[in-house]
Chains A and B, each alone.
Chain A
Amino acid sequence: MASDEGRRTRLLRGALDLCLLAVLSDGPAYGYEMTKRLRARGLSVVGEGSIYPLLGRLEREGLVETYRAASEGGPPRKYYRPSSEGLRALAAGVAEWRAARNAIDAVLAPVEAEVAA
């Protein structure tokens, strides 16, 4: 049986690209800014690896667009924003995630009830 930490890591690894596209749909952001947005929504990437390789893959697959611009009081940064293809992938991925979540919830719900009882 996998440890809780290992399961959480695997679950997040499978959905972190959706999370990045989701926070980017709020507006363009650079790497650390995305980390802050994720943390503000309750998701810490500690232990799950870095977002940078994932951003690299999203860029290579054309799901995000990039541009350089000055940051507030800092050096120029590389900003990311979802492409139109990225937005479609986000919508499709969210639908898949919710379908999987609902199916798993349906299976696990009786277990929760037994534990609660």
Chain B
Amino acid sequence: MSEFVDQCRAEWRRLGVPDAITNEMAADLAADLDEAAADGVSAEEVLGTAAFDPRGFAASWASERGVVPAAPVAVGDRAPARPTVRLVVAALAVVAALALFVAALALVFGGHGGESVVARPDSILPGPGPTDPGPHHAALLDAVRFIAALAIIAIGAGLATLAWWSWRRWRSPTLA
């Protein structure tokens, strides 16, 4: 009889049932089985077919009682992010995309007349002098600016897409 209770106790511990509840259920079960034995009643008459399956019996009892802790969330099955977190991420992505877009405009349209926002020409390539970079040097600088602007626009577009995607998920949690 005690072996049956011991196996139930081991199963409850394995399932993570709190000790207090494990001890309570084990004590109640042991008292009932002891009283039944004193009456000449077998464990099978008290427990039915569960008398031959202590682990299944223990798991069923704990589950029905609702004392088995929830299983940890599996990787790939994580709970969806909270709406406030999604909203903050989306807002940050929008702000970053706008900032990058403005920076790209400044690079393309604001660099020829005055100080370069990328780098001083003399710090990139040696040339005839800091105030006269020469036609070849200026063409190279324009190419660098163009490529940088394209890269910034691409990054901004990616961030904007991320923001839109986050916004859709926030508005419609059932969407994949």
Contact = CB atoms under 8 A, between A and B. Distances in A.
Interface in B56-85: 57, 60-66
A32 B48 contact: no
Nearest to A68: B24
Interface string B12-32: 000000000000100111011
Interface string A77-116: 1100000000000000000000000000000000000000
Nearest to A57: B64
A53 B24 contact: no
A46 B44 contact: yes
A77 B29 CA distance: 10
16 contacts: A31-B29, A32-B32, A32-B35, A32-B46, A35-B36, A35-B46, A46-B44, A47-B49, A48-B48, A49-B49, A52-B29, A53-B57, A56-B66, A59-B65, A71-B31, A78-B28
B50 interface: yes
Contacts of B49: 47-49
Given A31-B32, A75-B31, A78-B28, A50 B64 contact: no
Given A30-B28, A45-B48, A78-B24, A50 B66 contact: no
Taking residues whose C-beta sits less than 8 angstroms from the other chain, chain B's interface range is: 20 to 34
A35 B27 CA distance: 17
A46 B64 contact: no
A38 to B, nearest CB: 11
A77 B66 CA distance: 20
B48 A60 contact: no
Given A74-B35, A75-B31, A46 B48 contact: yes
B50 A50 contact: yes
A50 B48 contact: yes
A48 B42 CA distance: 15
B47 interface: yes
> Across chains A and B, which 6 residue pairs bring their CB atoms closest together, nearest first?
A56-B65, A32-B32, A56-B64, A53-B64, A57-B64, A53-B60
A54 interface: yes
Contacts of B45: 35, 44-46
B46 A60 contact: no
Contacts of B35: 32, 74
Given A44-B45, A46-B44, A56 B50 contact: no
B64 A54 contact: yes
A88 B102 CA distance: 69
Nearest to A52: B61
Given A46-B45, A47-B49, A75-B27, 8 more contacts: A30-B31, A31-B32, A32-B36, A45-B48, A46-B48, A56-B66, A77-B31, A78-B28
